[in-house]
């Protein structure tokens, strides 16, 4: 927090899932994009899409 307002950065990018198992096994070897934004103190929203 800075001056009573949320201080943070929005982040986005691309990644390759080298290995995945269980519920995420269908993403193994695929490229995904991600986006993250701050929600509060020590909290953030992280979303992945393929």
Tell me the per-residue pLDDT of 1-50, one tens digit each, with 9 for 90 and over.
667 666 678 899 999 999 999 998 998 999 999 999 988 778 889 998 88
For the stretch 18-31, pLDDT in tens is 999 999 899 899 99
Return phi, psi of residue 43, to 5°: -130, 145
**Res 36: pLDDT:** 93
Rounded to a whole number, what is the distance in angstroms from the first to the last CA of the chain?
32
> How would you class 15 by CB atoms within 10 Å of its CB: exposed for 0-12, middle for 13-18, buried for 19 or more?
exposed
Q: Which pLDDT belongs to residue 43? A: 86
Whether this prediction's pTM lies above 0.85 is answered by: no
- As beta bridge partners, residue 48 has 34
pLDDT at 6: 66
**Total length of the chain:** 50
Backbone dihedral angles phi then psi of residue 11, each to the nearest 5 degrees:
-130, 140
């Amino acid at each position: 927090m800075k001056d009573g307002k949320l201080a943070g950065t929005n982040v986005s990018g691309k990644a390759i899932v080298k290995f995945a198992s269980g519920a995420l096994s269908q993403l193994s070897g695929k490229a995904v994009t991600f986006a993250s934004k701050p929600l509060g103190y020590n909290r953030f929203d992280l979303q992945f899409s393929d």
